[in-house]
Amino acid sequence: MAEQQTPGTSSRVTYDYVTRTIARTLGGPSRGYFVLLGAAVALLLVGIITLLYLLRYGLGLAGYSHPVYWAVFITCFVFWVGIAHSGTLISAILFLFRSGWRTAVYRTAEAMTVFAVMTAGLFPLIHIGRQWYFYWLIPYPNERGLWPNFKSPLIWDEFAIGTYFTVSTVFLIMGLIPDVAAVRDLATGWRKKLYTITSLGWTGTNEQWRHYSKGYLYLAALATPLVLSVHSVVSWDFAMAIVPGWHATIFAPYFVAGAIYSGCAMVITLLTPIRKLFGLEELITVHHYENLAKLCLLTGSIVGYAYVCEYFIAWFSGNPHERAAFWYRAFGPYWWATWTMIICNAFLPLLLWVKKIRTNITALFVISIFVNIGMWFERYVIIVVSLAGEPYEPWANAVYNPTWADWGIMAGSFGWFFMWFLLFVKNFPAVSISEVKEVLAPPKRGQVRSR
Amino acid sequence: MSDSIDRRRFLKVLGVTGAGAATVSACGIGPEPTEKLIPYLVQPEDQIPGKATYYATTCRECAAGCGVVARVREGRAVKLEGNPESPINRGRLCSRGQAALQGLYNPDRVPHPMVRNANGTFEAIDWDGAIQRLRAKVAEARGKGIVFVSGAEVSSFGDLVDEWLKLVGGRRLSYEAFGFDALRAGNRLAFGTATLPTYDLANAKYILSFGADFLDTWLSPVEFQNGFTQAHAFEGGRSASMAKFVYVAPRLSLTGMSADEWIAARPGTEGTLALAMAQVIVSRHLARQPADASRLVGLLSGYAPSAVAEAIGIDQDTIVRLAREFASSGGGLAVAGGMATQYENGAAIVAAVNILNYVAGSVGSLVKFGADSAVGSAGTFADLVALKADMDAGRVALLLVHGANPAHSFPGAFQQALGKVGYKVSFSSYMDETTAACDLILPDHHPLEQWGDSRPRAGVTAFQQPVVQPVFETRQTGDVILQLAGRTGTFKDYVQGKWRTLQPRGRTPAAGGDQFVFDAMTKGGVYGESPTRAVRLAADLSAVAPRLSTEQKGSGEDQTIVVFPHPVLHDGRGANKPWLQELPDPVSKIAWHSWVEVHPDTAAKWGLATGDFLLLRSKFGAQKFPAWLTRSVRPDVLAVPTGQGHVAYGRYAQDRSANAFELLSRDANGYGGRTFVVAATATKTGEHRKIVTTEGSPRERGRGTVEVLGVARAKSLRPGQAPFHHEETPEYASKAVEWWAERQHEKTELGNYRGEHPRWGLAIDLSKCTGCSACVTACYAENNIATVGEDLMQRGREMSWLRLERYWLTDEHGEPQGAVNSPMLCQQCGNAPCEPVCPVFAAYHTPDGLNAQVYNRCVGTRYCSNNCPYKVRYFNWYNYAERGGKYEAFPEPLSMLLNPDVTVREKGVMEKCTFCVQRIRGAQNQARLEDRGVRDGEIVTACQQTCPSEAIVFGDLNDPRSRVSQLAGDPRGYHVLAGLNTKPAITYLARVVAQETPSHG
Amino acid sequence: MSRAIRLPLPKSMRELFDAPPTPGVLGVFSHLDAILDAIKKLRAAGHTDFTVYSPIPRHEIEDALGQPVSPVRMFTLIGGIAGCSIGAWLSLWMSGDWPLVVGGKPILSIPPYVVIMFEMTILFGALTTILGILLNSLFAARRLGTIQYDPRFTNDKFGIFVPAGSDKAAGVETLLRGAGADEVRRG
Amino acid sequence: MVLILALPLAAVYGQQAQSTSSPAASRYKAPVISDTGDLKGPRQPIFFRHDIHAGQDQIPCMYCHYSAAVSSEPGLPSLQTCMGCHQLVGGSTPSHQAEIKKVRDAWRERKAPEWVRIHALPGFVRFPHMRHIKVLGTGGCANCHGDVQTMPQVYQVSTLRMGWCVRCHVERKVTRDCSVCHY
């Protein structure tokens, strides 16, 4: 691994410094923290109440309108699954590529992944008509002798999301073990107990490291194709359908790129306040941000290219339905959604070509938020607009408007996500201790170190 | 017969629990609640639980007198179907007929007699008390004016009322909101007879309608539609089909949609056009003239096309062309009615059209006099105005109203007049406007609960018998009258007595009587030939010309408002039936509220958008309606439907939109009729509403949803040709697709893919479909489809499994010349896109080729609907069966008409058409019991059964001899969106139109 | 692996987790090169079963110790194969158990089932990997006993523990000090 | 129809129920029930004993459940049917007479007893009785309803749940297409 200091980290940063700085983040929570947590829980309550209404009276409370039978809920589902992607990308793929800069940010990203999947997983359950029968989608032996239909992309989804949640969770836990051990050795009181248990008796012997680092490698190797597969499967929910605007072979790569794009944006959005709050400027440096920005730029360009492709093929195919669908998309009643998405996702990130902007954290923060919005609208456009705008049948078209129920559930999902995230960063090291150390130059004899 | 009623009483007891079960079980999760089982006391022979019994009776929703067969299960009437024996409707039925059930089980019926008490509100009263009261009132009103207002009653009941009135010295006024005064007056003008003729549409070779909406509500719509399609359809079941149909009217109505050509003549000039055509025919000797045609020369001289074309608003070549076509067709039939007969000069227009028929030699052949139509018997509007005057003058001491609602169709004036009447009695079993203003209510049985009959035309008597036990404490008005008259026996005896006299001579009434009556009842009536008699031109035709002249009245900015009868709500009597309210108007596709039709050019002038409210202010009243922009109306005309704007009449009708009758003149016109055209100012109110419409794109845009052929091209097609296959995938691709599909089907090794089972299919002939939407209501009735109400329908939540898509047929200027109506329902695809995406196999392919939907397995992911290119799957957003729920679709006792063979769907499940699978299974069970196969034609879907134009055929596609598979091979046949390789089971037969280059882009 | 033979099974679960203390010498180092040096010396001196503590994984240490490749990979492989076959069985058998035709597709259509197989491969692969790591580390911990673990080892100090009876201990101590240990403890 | 055919038969059985002298060799003898408390199944308004009627007196099921062979509904005997026999049959023991009196009273007051439903299917399942009788024969009732002929008080023997239906259909190699029962 990198023998010399990673660019951006000062020589003050020693093993000890790393351990203590990160351990400090677990210290007594500030008022600001509780305000944030309170806000998150409040949002969650809004969602829960809305859900109770939906269960009692039916999905009619949401804005659905024939033939728009999927709308905000599925939009949010895809949005959150997308968010979930950068985490595993940064922790697994970049790990395989041995890129040093990931170490400082991957823990946050990974936590984000887990909680985003947790959030996404709720939406399919909420959006089905008879939520109390969701378990019929699971292949369990039952009295009727019925099984789910494995030809349905929804079942693929179920398996993909389930696997993704499990794997990313264990991946997160694995990464945590040595760090929890490190914190354990500094902690006192109930936290000591907590970390003693959660560190599973980690002592950092050569044997432990030997199995651990190999295992971690294999996990990464498994997670990498998983990341790519999961959003491909999600995209197939649409690509397997014959709806014009859905039925496209480009969907898998297009969605994966989009997912990573939105994921990285979300990482920036989350990292910035944490960095400030916990004073991690020394560990999470502009260098890291710049790399994230570059990743955004890459994936963003892929997404932009995909947009162009879609419209080009719609024209090139000469298929009247396809053409109509995309004309409707751009100039129909939903033009505003479409153009929001195109501006936020395709044009805004072009600013990142400029190094000044790329290295300006505030600018990045703002851009990242716009990208998040843009990506949400991308899903909205793909799902709602494709269904609304004359899918084959000239007679069947409708204009759909979300209602309070849609927004309520969506707000709840954000509350749910941030609640978990905030709880995590206060109780577990939000930056990997051991891996940050790895990329530091190891202490050698004859080197003078300031203590 | 008497004990048959007793039977049904006990059946009803069981029926109620049954109905409970149907709904409860469907909306409850988990196990059934324990029910009580109530056995019969006496075992009815003609009822087997779980099996339907059929009773023949007569539909009284309008005066046409169609025969119906009521399907009764456990004492509940669950479906009405046309009676094949009836010469009127030949086993077919319209939406309004289907919806009669919702009148029977209407939750807003008057449950028992009521009397107005001291503080002006109604209170219940027992029958004896009520009749006592009435008897007293009659006694004191003797000589001070007793008037009985009834609907068009040409029936034994009418006779009885007349007999009784003679006794007590009163008079009867039978009133229809849309009278036929102009027809009678016009016929008198032309032929000196005031009777109504019968029109033989079926044998016409060229049909020219001057505003006559014979497919909407005019005279006998079902009969006319059946005849019309025989004449007009490409293969109407007779050699020379495809009679051209030209529609002359200021607005394109449901009838107009079937037209090959639309002549939007200036309102009131229809007669001029008719005479101009007659002039051409006579002057150019285009047809063999009747002897006395020469007498017309004088009259016609003033009507040379060149002279009148300007006034009519079309160029004279068109007039000449029409005249030539009409005369040379050798069977031209011109019909004047509807709008054309509701102008000031309506009578003259009728006369003019008569003359046109006369010179073309159609009178006597296609237009037969002699069989006076029942509705004709209605009194004129003048009579009603006179009555109103009498009432105002206090010359009416006792007013009895039965089967009419003048307070709604003659609002304001009549309402006030009612106040001045001594005592007002209503026999209506609904709290309509008139009833609400009465002092005493003696609710009559619903026609399906009562004995009675109707004489739609001379020679035909349609019988009415009770099919169910009365739902409420109502009593047959006939019986009440008999009691008042102090006569013994029930009305049933009275009616059957009359029926006995109908039997042919030579048989002694006493002996054969009962048997004769019984036989007739099983057939639904006595159907004899109508007498015909020849007519000659009236001695003096001088009156025609002057009355024809139309002087424009009203100031410049005044608009011409045309008030037309709503195709299903008619004069408003249908407004209390949710099925009819939720049924989109066939032309505008607007439901639950009324509207004003505005031409886009006019709208552009006023900066008006669809949904903006227009305030129409005539001399007589003002009302505001949301605008609907359409090219199907003349730019200088605004059209408004009647039907809505009730201030009473139950939860479904009350306070909906506005009452168009308010705008109309309160005085009778020259010929004693009512003028439905009025000058009014139109002003934007600035208000706006989202109109409740199911309309998607009004143009089909060549998407392959509907196909249209020119008649010559269609005739040139030989069997085996397939002109629409270019719609399919290109040759190279289709080969691959075919091959792949075949491999797959072999691999499936199941069901109809191996041809062992039937493959149920449908053939729909678009050249027959008129868009009347009877099939839609039939589907609602058969399949327990929930009505969702106005605000949900506004959000596109309607559940109509079968919808009619109306795409305009336009001429080269993009002006509509008519429309193609395409019934869109589940296509039961062979390669159904909806199936593989369902995660729980709720949607799957049955061995007999149905695209089944297992409601109780569905979890409601709605993926199937997304993946359905036809968009014919509908989702239960709420629990529409929830007792007392906000969106309850079947409030007691409406739930009594739920079909026990069909599951009532729960909240959160997808539902759709499955070709009436319950009927298929029923037939299969029966066949199995009799150890035979299912015969072709044995299974009839609800939509097919009711279709008045016989456009739908159901059967087994795997059976080469079945009618449907033969039709599927028709060269006109095509599959909707065939390019998707969904292999639909429904074959559409292309619409055929007269002009050679049809455009529906 | 001669060491592998010296693996007695744990007497109890508890014992499995924290092994009985073994007599030996613990050296604490703060410099990487120093500990590498120490490792070399120890191995030269014929010590084989000593334990090295480090706050981070360093391949230098692994090289110096010359350890064999971790057996975890076998777990992953087997798990993956098992998962794949389970996925195949699920989708194929369940489709065959109640055959229903959807969209005119064959009852057993492989392409869609590949997705299921793939996901199951990943899932089981990952889970067995975790299992592998836990078990291996567990038995390793059991095999080499331990004394007074020093909390600094997870922070910034390296350490070596050499199991040695009182006879050898002195030699080891000097060896470690020679290699540059900050402190040396005897236990 | 069924009714008319069965009438003389009924009379016969009515008599036999009376006469103790009839040779009851292989005939099932209904037990005397002293305490109805511990009988399985729900209590009915009238303690109607299937074991006596169907078992001991061997009245065929179709005699009372007259439409099972022709309709999806098995049909519930009308009081008239009961009275067909119980005009004459008054019951041997006091307890029987008491129950039969209830029937006669009900008939007099023209008020049918409200039986408690035992076998209930959910509203979304169609069970055509006639198809099953057609295949299994008139004796086939027991397949689902158990040996009613020996039940003093009828109770539900089969689960009537989908798995149970399907198992039988699979064993007998008849269709298990969903839309046969669910529509």
Q: Chain B: give the shortest CA distance to residue C108, in Å.
A: 8
What is the chain C residue with the closest CA to A2?
A: C58
Is C15 a domain residue? Answer: no
User: Residue C46: which domain range?
Assistant: 22-61+70-186
Residue D15 has pLDDT above 70, yes or no: no
ipTM field:
0.90
Angstrom distance (rounded) from CA A70 to CA A386 = 10
User: Cis omega (within 30 of 0) on the bond before A67?
Assistant: yes
The predicted structure's pLDDT at residue B42: 80
Distances B60 to B97, B451, B573, B948, D13 between C-alpha atoms, Å? 8, 12, 12, 17, 51
CB contact at 8 A, C49 and A427:
no
Burial class (CB in 10 A: 0-12, 13-18, 19+), B37: middle
Q: Report the Cα B348 to chain-centroid distance in Å.
A: 28
Instruction: Closest CB to A205: pick one of C53, C90, C126.
Output: C53
Over residues B765-787, the mean pLDDT reads 95
Could you read off the pLDDT of A72-128 as tens digits, one per residue?
A: 999 999 999 999 988 888 888 888 888 778 888 888 889 999 999 999 999 999 999
Cβ-defined contact of C120 to A145 (cutoff 8 Å) = no
All partners of chain B with 3 or more CB pairs under 8 angstroms: A, C, D
Task: With respect to residue C14, please indicate whether it lies within any of the assigned structural domains.
Answer: no
Of C69, C113, C155, the CB nearest to A15: C155
Is residue D128 less than 8 Å (CB to CB) from chain B? Answer: yes
Q: A108-112, A447-451, B277-281, B598-602: lowest mean pLDDT where?
A: A447-451
Inter-chain contact B748–C107, Cβ cutoff 8 Å? Answer: yes
Closest residue, chain B, to C104 (C-alpha): B831
Residue reference for tokens 């009203």 = B554
Reduced to 3 states (helix: H, G, I; strand: E, B; else coil), residue B460 is strand
Residue C123 pLDDT: 96
Lowest mean pLDDT among A7-16, B207-216, C17-26, D121-130: A7-16
> CB distance from A207 to chain D under 8 Å?
no
Summarised one tens digit per residue, pLDDT across range B814-840 is 788 889 999 999 999 999 999 999 999
* A396 touching B (Cβ < 8 Å): yes
User: Cβ(B611)–Cβ(B688) under 8 Å?
Assistant: yes
- Residue C99 Cα, gap to closest chain B Cα (Å): 9
Residue among C109, C115, C137 minimizing CB distance to A211: C137
Task: State which residue of chain B sits closest to A136, comparing Cα positions.
Answer: B840
- Whether residue A211 and residue C72 make contact (CB cut-off 8 A), yes or no, is yes
Q: Which residues on chain D are in Cβ contact (under 8 Å) with A143? A: 161-163
Q: Which residues of D touch B39 (CB under 8 A)?
A: 76-79, 112-113, 115
B989 Cβ partners below 8 Å, 6+ apart? B234, B763, B764, B765, B766, B767, B967, B970, B972, B973, B974
Task: Provide the pLDDT for residue C155.
Answer: 83
What radius of gyration, in Å, describes the C-alpha atoms of chain C? Answer: 24
**Tell me, what's the pLDDT at B2?**
37
Alpha helices in B360-421 (DSSP H): 381-392, 406-409, 413-419
A138 CB near a chain C CB, below 8 Å? no
Give all strands (DSSP E) within B825-909, no chain letters. Answer: 843-845, 851-853, 874-875
pTM of the model: 0.92
CB < 8 Å to B36, chain D:
114-117
Query: What are the tens digits of pLDDT across the range B25-66?
Result: 333 333 344 577 788 878 777 778 888 999 999 999 988 899
The pLDDT mean for chain D works out to 82
Q: Which residue of A has its CA nearest to C34?
A: A445
Distance CA B664, CA B619 (A): 8
Res B729: pLDDT: 59
pLDDT of residue B23: 35
Do B293 and B358 contact (CB within 8 A), yes or no? yes
Does a structural domain hold residue C5?
no
Which of B735, B87, B104 is CA-nearest to residue B457?
B87
The whole-angstrom distance between A144's CA and the closest CA on chain D is 4
Distance from CA of D179 to the nearest CA of B (A): 7
Q: Tokens 């529906």 label which residue?
A: B1000
| pLDDT given for residue A275 in this prediction | 87
* Amino acid identity for residue B512 in this structure: G
Q: What is the pLDDT of residue A79?
A: 95
Closest chain B CA to residue A403: B795
Domains of chain C: total: 1
Instruction: Out of A150, A160, A442, name the one closest to residue C112 (CB).
Output: A150
Which residue in B has a C-alpha nearest to residue A241's C-alpha? Answer: B867
User: In this complex, which of A146, A151, A396 lies closest to B836 when CB atoms are compared?
Assistant: A151
Question: Which residue type sits at B18?
Answer: G
List CB contacts of C174: < 8 A, sequence separation 6 or more: none
Using alpha carbons only, how large is chain D's radius of gyration in Å? 18
Q: Is A59 helix (H, G, I), strand (E, B) or coil?
A: helix
Short-list B35, B637, B14, CA closest to B343: B637
Percentage of the residues of chain B whose pLDDT score is greater than 90: 66
Return the DSSP state at B365: T
**Least confident segment among B204-208, B396-400, B793-797, C141-145:** C141-145
Give the per-residue pLDDT at A2: 37
pLDDT tens for B639-649 read 999 999 999 99
Mean pLDDT of chain B: 88
pLDDT in tens, B909-942: 999 999 999 999 999 999 999 999 999 999 999 9
Angle at CA A140, nearest 5°, toward A139 and A144?
A: 105
D122 touching chain A per CB within 8 A = no
> Where residue B507 falls among pLDDT bands split at 50, 70, 90?
low
Q: In 3-state terms, what secondary structure has residue B816?
A: strand
| List of chain A residues with pLDDT < 50 | 1-5, 448-451
Q: What is the pLDDT of residue B509?
A: 53
- In whole angstroms, give the CA distance from residue B51 to residue D72: 8
How high does pLDDT run on average in chain C?
82
Would you tell me which residues 104-123 of chain C have a C-beta closer than 8 angstroms to some C-beta of chain B?
A: 104-108
Of B271-275, C2-6, D35-39, least confident by mean pLDDT is: C2-6
Interface of B with D in 353-372 (CB under 8 A): none
Give the CA radius of gyration of chain A. 23
| Parallel, antiparallel or unpaired: strands B986-989 and B760-765 | parallel
* Contact criterion met (CB below 8 Å) for B801 and B874: yes
Assess if residue C3 is contained within a domain.
no
Confidence of residue B504 (pLDDT cuts 50, 70, 90): confident
pLDDT score at A280: 84
Give the separation between CA A160 and CA C119, rounded to whole angstroms. 6
pLDDT of residue A316: 92
CATH number of A28-137+148-438: 1.20.1630.10
Residues 804 through 843 of chain B touching chain C, CB cutoff 8 Å: 830-836, 838, 841, 843
Beta carbons of C184 and C161 less than 8 angstroms apart: no
Question: Hey, are the CB atoms on B29 and A132 less than 8 Å from each other?
Answer: yes
Residue B730 confidence class, pLDDT cut points 50, 70, 90: low
CA–CA distance, A237 with A120 (Å, rounded to integer): 15
Tell me the helices (H) and strands (E) count for chain B, helix number first: 31, 38
Which two structure tokens, joined as six digits, stand for B708?
Answer: 């249209």
Contact between B87 and B631 (Cβ < 8 Å): no
Is residue B719 exposed (0-12), middle (13-18) or buried (19+ Cβ within 10 Å)?
exposed
**Nearest CA distance, A265 vs chain C (angstrom):** 27
Domain ranges of chain A: 28-137+148-438
Which chains are within 8 Å of A by 3+ CB pairs?
A: B, C, D
Distance CA B172, CA B941 (A): 43
pLDDT band per the 50, 70, 90 thresholds, residue C164: confident
Q: C107–B751: do the CB atoms touch at under 8 Å?
A: no
For residue B606, give the H/E element and its range: helix B600-606
C-alpha span between A171 and C130 (Å, rounded) = 9
For residue range B833-869, list pLDDT tens digits in order: 999 999 999 999 998 889 999 999 999 999 999 999 9
CB atoms near residue B510 (< 10 Å)? 8
d(CA A359, CA A297): 13
A143 lies within 8 A of chain D by CB: yes
CB contact under 8 A, B836 and A155: no
Task: Return the bridge partners of A180, or none.
Answer: none
The alpha carbon of residue C132 is apart from the nearest alpha carbon of chain B, in Å, by 35
Cα(A61)–Cα(A387) distance, rounded to whole angstroms? 19
